Amino acid sequence: MAIAAGIDCSTQFTKIVVCDTDTGAVLRENRAPHPGVPAGSTPTEIDPQAWLRSLGAAAEGGLLEGISAIGVSAQQQGLIGLDAGGVLVRPAMLRNDPRPATAALALVDELGGPAAWAQAVGAVPPASSTVAKLRWLAENESAAAKRIAEVLLPHDWLVWQLLGQSARRTTDRGDASGTGYWSTVEERWRPDLAALALGHELHQFPQVLGPAEAAGQSPEGLLISAGTGTTMATALGLDLGPGDVMISLGSNGTLHGVHTEALQDPAVATYADGTGRFLVQVVTLNAARVLRAAALMLGTDLQGLSELALRSTPGSYGLVLLPFLEGERTPPLPHAAGTLAGLRVDSMKPEHLARAAVEGMLCGLADALDVLRTAGVPVHRVFLTGLAGRLAAVQAAAPGIFGVPVVVPAQAEYAAIGAARQAAWALAGTAEPPTWERPAPATVLDPSDETAVGGAVRAQYEAVLKQTHPELNR
């Protein structure tokens, strides 16, 4: 039996799983925090050496004993700038750094607007993108920016370290597609866009490997696969295929639909995945934050909110919450606020407000699913991830409102599992990734007779949306 390890490096932890390459069974796993990062905090920049120390701590006790291959996934859209000698210029900038927001807007305008970026690379660069970070550095840390000769992403840097800092730098198409200067349409680097942001040309770019290619061998003789970004690794760990949409219910709602071709649509973002296909993304700004805010208003927590909502009925006695608490990206309502409509004596009860919060969040996500459908992306199943997806009230309402089966995967380290699966794929040298069993059975929720009820809930929501925001009807 061969075994492979998957490493996932997030903003706070390094996680390792060790899997049977034939079945995917998780044999061992561990995690360790990044040193110097206070518990509960989320850094915006870090010394990459902290990742190696965290990796070493997670691997203690012989966790990696007997493995044949390693795959790496890591937080996307970071920036590790190296000078011409391969020396780190400054601490790594991480995906969640908010400082490049204005730089991103300026870059969008300079190329000719959202449509021009969609045509060039498949996505309009957000503040989190690597290209926006390059511009921010050029404007705010010009001395450091001038020294940058090449840029690595977090997973690229970790692979490079595992290979003993080899002369060759590598990445994969999935992580490269989040930089803002690699085209999903042409599957190539766009040096001109990197230079537009940084003010000078980069000396070299990492070699973009295919999903099943190996980056090389470690000094110990272990195969190191191409690696990828956390989202792409998660999709690989969940074994998503065309027609599947993964919805991550964080404070924001992030939807990734698996598609067979790259789009050039400014309403969606097209990224490459870890299989040779694409992940088409739509983002809503208001997901779990809506439930947390409603729970706070009602003097409870998320579980208490769910229990209250289940005491109401579909439609919340006519109460409708438009969940635009932080403005909204999808639909484009950047300056909107939330709206609570349908207040009557009978509806002014905690359980109805709780249900309206759940339904409002889900209707907003259902509208985002329709954006994917309009772009030509099939939606046959929805995979719900994140803590909010485990709430009973969300699971009760989601299938009817979405109108498709909803899968709630069992809790597991899917990004690390996806990285291990990629390593097993590179080790096998096959055309397709190995077929692995999921760590535990998923909960599958079928809409069956709930679609009519869910349709009525959405119709009630859409009526309030159109009345409150007539600009969307133009």
Residue 180 and residue 243 in one domain: no
Residue 224 and residue 250 in one domain: no
Residue 250 and residue 311 in one domain: yes
On whether residue 426 sits in a domain, the answer given is no
Residue 50 and residue 181 in one domain: yes
Q: In a structure prediction context, what are the per-residue pLDDT tens digits for the chain, which is 474 residues long?
A: 799 999 999 999 999 999 999 999 999 999 999 998 888 788 999 999 999 999 999 999 999 999 999 999 999 999 999 999 999 999 999 999 999 999 999 999 999 999 999 999 999 999 999 999 999 999 999 999 999 999 999 999 999 999 999 889 999 999 999 999 999 999 999 999 999 999 999 999 999 999 999 999 999 999 999 999 999 999 999 999 999 999 999 999 999 999 999 999 999 999 999 999 999 999 999 999 999 999 999 999 999 999 999 999 999 999 999 999 999 999 999 999 999 999 999 999 999 999 999 999 999 999 999 999 999 999 999 999 999 999 999 999 999 999 999 999 999 999 999 999 999 999 999 999 999 988 778 899 998 878 899 999 999 999 999 999 999 986
What's the domain range around 9? 3-231
Residue 255 and residue 152 in one domain: no
On whether residue 435 sits in a domain, the answer given is no
Residue 346 and residue 362 in one domain: yes
On whether residue 418 sits in a domain, the answer given is no
Where does a domain end: 208, 231, 254?
A: 231
Give the chain as a 3 state SS string. CCEEEEEEECCCEEEEEEEECCCCCEEEEEEEECCCCCCCCCCCEECCHHHHHHHHHHCCCCCCCCCCEEEEEECCCCEEEECCCCCECCCEECCCCCCCHHHHHHHHHHHCCHHHHHHHHCCCCCCCCHHHHHHHHHHHCHHHHHHCCEEECHHHHHHHHHCCCCCCCEEEHHHHCCCCCEECCCCEECHHHHHHHHCCCCCCCCEEECCCCEEEECCCCCEEECCEEHHHHHHHHHCCCCCEEEEEECCCEEEEEEECCCCCCCCCEEEECCCCCEEEEEEECCCHHHHHHHHHHCCCCHHHHHHHHCCCCCCHHHCEEECCECEECCCCECCCCCEEECCCCCCCCHHHHHHHHHHHHHHHHHHHHHHHHHCCCCCCEEEEECHHHHCHHHHHHHHHHHCCCEEECCCCCHHHHHHHHHHHHHHHCCCCCCCCCCCCCCEEECCHHHHHHHHHHHHHHHHHHHHHCHHHHC
Where does a domain end: 210, 231, 252?
A: 231
- At residue 67, the pLDDT reads 97
- At residue 474, the pLDDT reads 63
- At residue 39, the pLDDT reads 81
On whether residue 296 sits in a domain, the answer given is yes
On whether residue 433 sits in a domain, the answer given is no
Residue 274 and residue 295 in one domain: yes
On whether residue 414 sits in a domain, the answer given is no
* Overall domain count for the chain: 2
Residue 206 and residue 349 in one domain: no
Where does a domain end: 178, 205, 231?
A: 231
Residue 312 and residue 458 in one domain: yes
On whether residue 427 sits in a domain, the answer given is no
Residue 261 and residue 210 in one domain: no
On whether residue 322 sits in a domain, the answer given is yes
pTM over 0.85: yes
Residue 92 and residue 162 in one domain: yes
CATH classification of the domain holding 312: 3.30.420.40
Residue 75 and residue 190 in one domain: yes
